[in-house]
Structure 1
Amino acid sequence: MFFHFRNKFPRLNIYWDKYLEFQQRLDVPAKTILLDEGKISQHYIYIEKGCVRSYFNKNGEDKTVQFFFEEEGLSSLDSFVNNLPSQFTIETIEPSVIYLLPKQYVSQLIAELSNEPDFTQMILYMSAQRQTHYINEFVSFIRDTPEERYQHLLQERPHIVQRVPQHYIASYLGVSTVHLSRIKSKLAKGKTHF
């Protein structure tokens, strides 16, 4: 859960190193399911290389919720913490190298870290970062048009547009691939006027 914070909290590296041996390294192709919707999450996932998405199925259609890249960690948090069926499927988009840390070791790691003075700061930092991101996504989905959301992606997270297939981006924006093509075409025409 916390391995991507190594550089921000170097004093805690002895813990990260201790738990490396409990992680399972997987070298997997694109479209590998790491967690199925409806199953209980048993692992925390850390991405060393590649791209992963979370999505849910609505009436036979995938709705992409989020993308994750190198040096990011994820799980279906409610499922992982509360032993509930996951609301999301987690799947690789690119060939990826990922690490899985079983829940029992995450619990042990948290118990050990809780005695460290930097732990509370790290948890607050991580929670605030994620909370801010999800609130911004939520507000943007209500306030902004699909075109504005695509422009935000281009400006703030261009790596998504560069690496993620268009049909997943369309799903993420809540539009069809045809609508996304129209948005891109309109934006490209707008650039020629400058």
Structure 2
Amino acid sequence: MLFHFKDQFPHLSTYWDKYLPHQKRLEVPAKTILLEEGKVSQQYIYIEKGCVRAFFNNNGDDKTLQFFFENEGLTSLPSFVNDTPSDITIETLEPSVIYLLPKKYVSQLMDEVSHEPGFLKMMLQIFARRQMHYSSLLISFIRDTPEQRYQNLLTERPHIVQRIPQHYIASYLGVSTVHLSRIKSKLAKGKPHF
């Protein structure tokens, strides 16, 4: 579960090395479903190369929650932990190289690492970072206009704008593709010309 944090916690490298053989490496095309909404998550996903999207279906309309890139990991955590149906779908947006670690080995890894000094602090730091990210997104949806959300995206996560198709960005921002085009046009007109 923690392979993407191995560089931040090098003192735990023996654990990473031990569980590498249990990961399944896959080279998959774009639009590959890694977890389907309604299925129980049984794998932790690590992205070596490519881009992955987490989304849910809202009456036939996809709503994008998050994008994940190289050296990031993900799963539908409530589904993975509680053996409940996932409320999200996870799919690749680009041809990707991913590793899957079955839940059985994730549980074993967590049991072993939990005995290490500082493990609890490390886990709290990891969860706090994710929580801060999702809290800031929620606050932005309540407080900011779609234009401000797009500007925040340009400033804070420009790689999303560079790599992700526009209709997914619109879904992520909670606007239509037409509205996103208007926002981009308005911002382009407001740029100074030299």
TM-score under structure 2 normalisation?
0.98
1:97 Cα offset (Å): 0.4
Unpaired runs of 5+ residues, structure 2, are: none
* 1:22 equivalent in structure 2: 22
Q: Which residue of 1 aligns with 2:93?
A: 93
Contact kept, 8 Å, 1:9 with 1:118, in 2: the verdict is: no
SS of the residue 1:117 aligns to: coil
Supply the AA of the counterpart residue of 2:108. Answer: Q
The CA deviation at 1:193 is 6.0
Is the 1:28–1:97 Cα contact (8 Å) retained in structure 2?
A: yes
TM alignment of 1:3-14, pairs within 5 A: 3-14=3-14
The alpha carbon displacement at 1:56 in A equals 0.4
Amino acid at match of 2:121: Q
CA displacement, residues 38-61 of structure 1 (integer Å, 9 cap, x when unaligned): 000000000000000000011111
Report if the CA contact (8 A) 1:48-1:71 is conserved: yes
CA distance in 2 between counterparts of 1:68 and 1:85 reads 21
Task: Give a deviation string over 1:127-179, Cα, whole Å, max 9, x none.
Answer: 11001000001100111111000000000000000000000000000111010
- d(CA) in 2 for partners of 1:3, 1:92: 19
Counterpart of 1:155? Answer: 155
Distance across 1 between alignment mates of 2:84 and 2:18: 29
Partner of residue 135, structure 2: 135
Aligned length: 194
Give the Cα separation in 2 of the matches to 1:33 and 1:192.
42
Q: Which amino acid aligns with 2:126?
A: M
Q: Deviations over 1:13-63 (max 9, x none)?
A: 000000000000010000000000000000000000000000001111100
> What stretches of structure 1 move > 6 A for 4+ residues in a row?
none
Partner Cα distance (1:56, 1:134) in 2: 16
Q: 1:159 and 1:45 mapped to 2: Cα distance?
A: 21
Report SS of the residue matched to 2:7.
coil
Alignment match, 2:47: 47
Helix, strand or coil at the partner of 2:65: strand
Residue 121 (structure 1) shift? 2.1
Deviations 1:52-81 (A, max 9, x none): 000001111100000000000000000000
TM-score by length of 1: 0.98
Q: 2:110 matched to which residue of 1?
A: 110
What RMSD in Å do the two structures reach over aligned CA positions?
A: 0.9
Shift of 1:118: 2.9
